[in-house]
Structure 1
């Protein structure tokens, strides 16, 4: 099954498993009712088969039905055939932040290597676009990679194609346009007619028009072209209406209209010619960036979401490889279900068609087995046009499949007639089924939806004919309510801390929080529901929808949290936007640069700093030239001194901790940052906090970890936090309508139904090239510069966006199962909702009188709710508060130091003055050392007289690559050590070899392996072998790194054997010589470990 969103895929998988699991347990009567409801037979044989479906699903490869988004399927396909897709080994998908960072790098390289022509184009783009708009435009060009490549791709010079795109001749220039002003081309007779008629008009306007006409006629064509605006000013008012006397005859009016037509045409041609001068360098630069962008991704082994679809479609369309891959895939499935087909674009349909191409081409490898494609789509729910989808694709593909099925049926019948046999495959005609029935929504709600569609008009939604009426659950009551629009009092602007937000939005969020709190109040009547059982609404039954992802959604979440309502965070937000992230980043910015006054002030007044604004004013006020950090350090006030001491703890870690460790310390260390942030901002702050920590780990995985580097990396991209909706049970959900696709709730609130669609930012403009059919992206063009095809494309885009605006309303309304509430706020200068707002179009449907409402002032309703759930003494349900367990409230504490056990052999850096051996000699010396270690480990167990023979045989087996002289030297050195009288105890039978040691010393774990360990009743001796060819000649010459290593061994053994003294020695096998390390030499290093 292929669907459009992750939420839809998860919801579908859950529902299928729930239904099939339910069928296993149902009795015969209820199972028959379920099967009858979906149009299936319900005889005993079908019921028996239905009970086995759940087990069959679990036996599918992967443990269930394969339900993927098209992107996920494409990713799987490319992973299965990477070489065929032309991908480098190890190619991985780009996340949003990496994409933004890579785009900056490619743009920087482009600017660094740009020609003067490119630099001028980039300068022009930067002037015409908003900040960072030039890069966004170039990324649009990168996404249109098919426009620039291939045999018909746009290549420089582009002037001819740009002119044709704008509807001008390919050789058009100012000379050609000016030719339209000469006497042979321009309608001079109509102009003379107007001049004569104006001459009879005694008003001042008439004489001015005559003078302007005569002046214009006296110019050459080029000057006439430059003076058309002055001629228009004399003939027309500023609003475009003609300057005509009231008694103007038809001939005058006709000639005047002709002049208007000609002047408008000339003006449009000049405007399009000027626009071509802008577009040619812009598109040339866009092509250069697009090619550089894709070349860089390919070189680095990276791929983004659009690439996945593009590569998968190209792979399956390939005449050679595509057929083989289709054959391989054809063996894996018999049925394909496409969900949300109305939001599937052309490239995605290419994938689907390739997957099903063998379904209708004869018997194939599956012989007579019936194979199906089931496509589910609803034109009324096509709302992702901003992502390049179009519901028209759905309609076209239906015609394609209809023709394929009809052809396959005709071929099967022809083959049966020729062979005089029955068709081997029972092919069925294309079946078109309606989506009018809903099993989850009350009939009263769906009746309102039908009335809304009728009031708005099927054409406004993009339908040719009115849709069929909806059929819902007639046994369940449903309610649609409209709340009076919220208008904030002017005084609210200056009294709220959130004055940067409009007063109406804040008031709307307050009202919604109050309403939801009233519904959930266990002491009140609550909001009755009938789904499943007659009950009171809970937090998880409520979904609050907004049209756009703006500040209102976050403000609603904050107000609900302040009201004590369990609420999930918004469904999607920029990682840098949540207050918890801003506070943590302020702490990191201060740590990186203590003299950053803004970051320090932000940190102090955050939950981490625990200052109030008054505290900042009292303790932070200083001379202008004095830095805030310097001022606080010099302060003698105890409150400031306490804060400085707290901040010093943070600064002490900057030079030694990576960003993720810094965040860990802030969140779980002495500052207890997570607890403070969640206490102030609510539990929804946990997700952004976790994502910031994940971002720090992600940065450390791709770069050398540094705090300043992480800050720059974080600021360079706009990582997006997407909340998966599966874990929000029991919480109010706040999300956009787009994010709610595939979801539903018993109670739905439309929070910004008064929004004016004309104020929304227009989508990116494209003009389709007639010859290739390719859409060409256009940069920002002011409204007064849009003419010809550009103006037509803008009007078409506006029409499509308005259709999507109404389809978005349909999706929002159909999320409600039992109750739909419509509300919104009016701006400071608005008296009524905008004409094309959802609120204004739905309001006339409410014909009953207004009802008084304690929260909204007034409301209107259609339908009804179930009877209130009145609690009784026996059945009243008390609100239960689940307390967090003690372990969840106990601080985790600082990260272990070091994060992994300390190995004594790495306890310090070797700072000896003697230079290292050359690389080849170093490798030989290392090999020699390993062999001597192995022999010293094994030979003590061998009888004295047999050691030399045994050691020689062992070396012959394990050091064949060494010549006999080298093996002999190793043998002699080893035997000399073993036979040395001073080392007898160390290599006696009571001593242990290669002994693992582990102990906790000073809060850190020490773990290592001692070469030899001798444990006696009163003392313990540890010896480490050193095979260097440059052994020290005295105790003072032993490197510090060796002393630190042995100090770590001694410290660990003192913890393991607290009742015994511990001695350490180093055995240099080359001499051979053993050097005992006195306690006073080891003591400073042991003390360092303890601290």
Structure 2
């Protein structure tokens, strides 16, 4: 290569490197999948380019001696193209271009755990890479079906589920698993599936006129999901009461995040600490919405709705009567609520007096201070952290305080702190999808999606919503046929409606649907293998069942132990309660952690007093909650 050509190649390399760096920085800012694809395409182009690849590979060869890639089953064809362009240079090259010992490659993966199709992950890439390492790099293929995590009972049900799926042609390459664990034996339970009432039944009926100020709207589907969440929360409480398990030993998993919010509410009502380690939206936190409403009211004093939310928040603690008095005064004087407040309406009310004392100073500060300084002053003078800590239950207190701190941090980080006024900061927060940093607590029930639980484990795992509704046909689908050994896709087509797929694409559509079904089974495998000792499945009877057996049904066929439903005084949990929260009585079977020695003396100690105590306990379980409390109070 002459000097001029070398300069051109170097300049081109610099341009591509700049594009790569810019894509990476954009990815860090927005964390978008499109930016990730651009970054991968740029890296593939850099390593496949005839003029630049030698220069890049020479430097990689001089720097890298060992290459370890974990979770390889989640690799996409585009990502493999980048690796293939690099590793192919070592095929039969002995010590590589450096003349030293060859590069060692170690790839770890499990196609049964490939659950990232939305990122174009293809488990076939793992098989192709495995064959490449064996043939081109003279490597070895090592397979392991032995675990040191799962109890025997968990593995027995797992083996039965996937052996049956493989026999039905829905799964492949599964071999029975073995375990080093012998004690405890473990348990797999199926909670009673929440029944769906007949059309027009008490849950579905509208129930007449509803006072929207005092009675929340009740959606029939949400009622059923709330019953399932209550049942799961009762099961968790029963395990904790049994002893031997702490909240940090329990996980609740689901394919979607929405049901986890209902479980969080049910756990919060019972005072069970819980945490959501996965990232969630900043504006989804109630504490953040309250403070953003306060900033909005300071930036726009005539915005009565934001002002009312700020007054109602724990920052001031106004009651409904306080707001009604303020609204009547504002209507009489035809002024904004904030102006009426400063004129003295609703005197002798503690919350409004507190707002009158703080509001003028904050209003003046909003006109002069940047968002962070204003928020810092509000949090300090308004004792925001202390007031929220006083009203939020202990189970959610740490998350609430972390959300307040995250809002303060975003006032300095969002868009490089370019929003110098509260008005622009509020608009940017409502326009952008800003994520809270992941929060975890050591001794709290972990609420996770199955994707978020990848690589984690717990002594007891609850998997919810295991009878999902049949998915609706997608209105727009991207079909891609990209074999792992191909340099580019063989076919890429947009389908406007899956129900009206063109005949020429039906084979590709069938392959896409087969891949989705396989991923559902992979997600079931991931969820089941998180449990070390106990695995509990819950479900709600779907309105329209998905084709094929559900996860709950697969475990039932595999011999999982069914927990018998318990009926309270109002009937079964899913039949007669519509507006109020259901009361579910549930006691999970006890699992002996180890063999207990027989004690004839203890057996003879079954006195009349002990029998009476067990009888009273059983009667209290049969009673509804209110009656049980009354009976206990009367006995005291």
Shared fold by TM > 0.5? Answer: yes
In structure 2, what is the Cα distance between the partners aligned to 1:849 and 1:658? 59
Find 2:116's aligned residue among 384, 389, 408. 384
In structure 1, what is the Cα distance between the partners aligned to 2:370 and 2:53? 47
Matched, 1:502 2:222: yes
Are the equivalent residues in 2 in contact too, given 1:592–1:654 (CA < 8 A)?
Answer: yes
**What residue number does 1:677 align with?**
388
Structure 2 matches for 1:253-272, cutoff 5 A? none
Are the equivalent residues in 2 in contact too, given 1:826–1:833 (CA < 8 A)?
Answer: no
Find 2:265's aligned residue among 558, 572, 578. 558
Change (3 A) 1:607 1:365: same
Q: CA deviation at 1:785?
A: 4.9
**What residue number does 1:692 align with?**
407
Are the equivalent residues in 2 in contact too, given 1:543–1:748 (CA < 8 A)?
Answer: yes
Find 1:479's aligned residue among 183, 187, 212. 187
Structure 2 matches for 1:401-412, cutoff 5 A? 401-405=133-137
Change (3 A) 1:307 1:334: same
Matched, 1:539 2:247: yes
In structure 1, what is the Cα distance between the partners aligned to 2:470 and 2:253? 16
Q: CA deviation at 1:460?
A: 5.7
Q: CA deviation at 1:686?
A: 3.1
Q: CA deviation at 1:349?
A: 1.8
Tell me the TM-score normalised to structure 1 length: 0.46
In structure 1, what is the Cα distance between the partners aligned to 2:170 and 2:71? 17
In structure 2, what is the Cα distance between the partners aligned to 1:638 and 1:348? 67
**What residue number does 2:466 align with?**
753
Change (3 A) 1:444 1:716: same
Change (3 A) 1:689 1:351: farther
CA RMSD of aligned residues (A): 3.7
In structure 2, what is the Cα distance between the partners aligned to 1:502 and 1:96? 36
Q: CA deviation at 1:638?
A: 2.3
Q: CA deviation at 1:397?
A: 2.2
- SS of the aligned residue for 1:766 comes to strand
**What residue number does 1:606 align with?**
313
The range that moved more, 474-483 or 569-578, is: 569-578
Tell me the TM-score normalised to structure 2 length: 0.75
Change (3 A) 1:98 1:707: farther
Structure 2 matches for 1:133-532, cutoff 5 A? 143=34, 304-360=35-91, 361-364=93-96, 369=101, 371-405=103-137, 429-457=138-166, 461-463=170-172, 465=173, 467-476=174-183, 477-487=185-195, 490=203, 497=216, 499=218, 502-521=222-241, 525-526=242-243
Alignment: residue pair count: 544
Structure showing greater radius of gyration is 1
Are the equivalent residues in 2 in contact too, given 1:96–1:719 (CA < 8 A)?
Answer: no
- SS of the aligned residue for 1:457 comes to helix
In structure 1, what is the Cα distance between the partners aligned to 2:100 and 2:231? 63
Matched, 1:866 2:593: yes
In structure 2, what is the Cα distance between the partners aligned to 1:658 and 1:93? 26
Q: CA deviation at 1:687?
A: 3.3
Are the equivalent residues in 2 in contact too, given 1:575–1:719 (CA < 8 A)?
Answer: yes
Matched, 1:548 2:280: no
**What residue number does 1:660 align with?**
372
Find 2:19's aligned residue among 87, 102, 106. 87
Q: CA deviation at 1:366?
A: 6.5
In structure 1, what is the Cα distance between the partners aligned to 2:481 and 2:546? 35
In structure 2, what is the Cα distance between the partners aligned to 1:499 and 1:370? 66
**What residue number does 2:528 align with?**
813
Q: CA deviation at 1:864?
A: 5.0
Q: CA deviation at 1:339?
A: 1.2
- SS of the aligned residue for 1:694 comes to helix
Change (3 A) 1:697 1:659: same
**What residue number does 1:889 align with?**
none
Are the equivalent residues in 2 in contact too, given 1:450–1:470 (CA < 8 A)?
Answer: yes
Q: CA deviation at 1:750?
A: 0.3
In structure 2, what is the Cα distance between the partners aligned to 1:517 and 1:848? 19
Change (3 A) 1:789 1:604: farther
In structure 1, what is the Cα distance between the partners aligned to 2:42 and 2:22? 16
- SS of the aligned residue for 2:436 comes to strand
In structure 2, what is the Cα distance between the partners aligned to 1:572 and 1:760? 29
**What residue number does 1:1060 align with?**
none
Q: CA deviation at 1:590?
A: 0.9
Q: CA deviation at 1:332?
A: 2.7
Q: CA deviation at 1:94?
A: 2.4
* Unaligned runs of at least 5 residues, structure 2: 1-12, 197-201, 568-582, 598-636
Are the equivalent residues in 2 in contact too, given 1:737–1:808 (CA < 8 A)?
Answer: yes
**What residue number does 1:841 align with?**
554
Q: CA deviation at 1:740?
A: 0.8
Report Cα offsets for 1:607-655 as digits up to 9, x if no partner.
Answer: 2231234543354346396543344344143223443333333212101
In structure 2, what is the Cα distance between the partners aligned to 1:864 and 1:763? 49
In structure 2, what is the Cα distance between the partners aligned to 1:618 and 1:868? 67
Are the equivalent residues in 2 in contact too, given 1:822–1:839 (CA < 8 A)?
Answer: yes
Q: CA deviation at 1:540?
A: 1.3
Are the equivalent residues in 2 in contact too, given 1:504–1:825 (CA < 8 A)?
Answer: yes
Q: CA deviation at 1:387?
A: 1.1
In structure 2, what is the Cα distance between the partners aligned to 1:384 and 1:329? 29
- SS of the aligned residue for 1:87 comes to helix
Q: CA deviation at 1:719?
A: 2.1
Matched, 1:804 2:516: no
Matched, 1:730 2:443: yes
In structure 1, what is the Cα distance between the partners aligned to 2:226 and 2:387? 25
In structure 1, what is the Cα distance between the partners aligned to 2:436 and 2:476? 23
Question: Relative contact order (C-alpha < 8 Å, sep 6+): which is higher?
Answer: 2
**What residue number does 2:348 align with?**
638
Change (3 A) 1:766 1:835: closer
- SS of the aligned residue for 1:602 comes to helix
Report Cα offsets for 1:669-727 as digits up to 9, x if no partner.
Answer: 12122233344252112333333222211236252511111122222221233516xx5
Are the equivalent residues in 1 in contact too, given 2:479–2:494 (CA < 8 A)?
Answer: yes
Are the equivalent residues in 2 in contact too, given 1:757–1:836 (CA < 8 A)?
Answer: no
**What residue number does 2:578 align with?**
none
In structure 2, what is the Cα distance between the partners aligned to 1:448 and 1:806? 14
Q: CA deviation at 1:792?
A: 5.0
Are the equivalent residues in 1 in contact too, given 2:157–2:560 (CA < 8 A)?
Answer: no
The range that moved more, 832-841 or 647-656, is: 832-841
Are the equivalent residues in 2 in contact too, given 1:330–1:358 (CA < 8 A)?
Answer: no
In structure 2, what is the Cα distance between the partners aligned to 1:362 and 1:549? 50
Are the equivalent residues in 1 in contact too, given 2:238–2:587 (CA < 8 A)?
Answer: no
The range that moved more, 671-680 or 337-346, is: 671-680
* Unaligned runs of at least 5 residues, structure 1: 1-80, 101-139, 144-303, 406-428, 527-535, 871-1091
Are the equivalent residues in 1 in contact too, given 2:72–2:126 (CA < 8 A)?
Answer: yes
In structure 1, what is the Cα distance between the partners aligned to 2:461 and 2:216? 29
Q: CA deviation at 1:335?
A: 2.3
Are the equivalent residues in 2 in contact too, given 1:833–1:839 (CA < 8 A)?
Answer: no
Are the equivalent residues in 1 in contact too, given 2:294–2:306 (CA < 8 A)?
Answer: yes
- SS of the aligned residue for 2:308 comes to helix
Change (3 A) 1:340 1:456: same
Are the equivalent residues in 1 in contact too, given 2:192–2:565 (CA < 8 A)?
Answer: no
The range that moved more, 797-806 or 700-709, is: 700-709
In structure 2, what is the Cα distance between the partners aligned to 1:826 and 1:606? 38
- SS of the aligned residue for 1:820 comes to strand
In structure 2, what is the Cα distance between the partners aligned to 1:449 and 1:747? 15
Are the equivalent residues in 2 in contact too, given 1:484–1:857 (CA < 8 A)?
Answer: no
The range that moved more, 482-491 or 645-654, is: 482-491
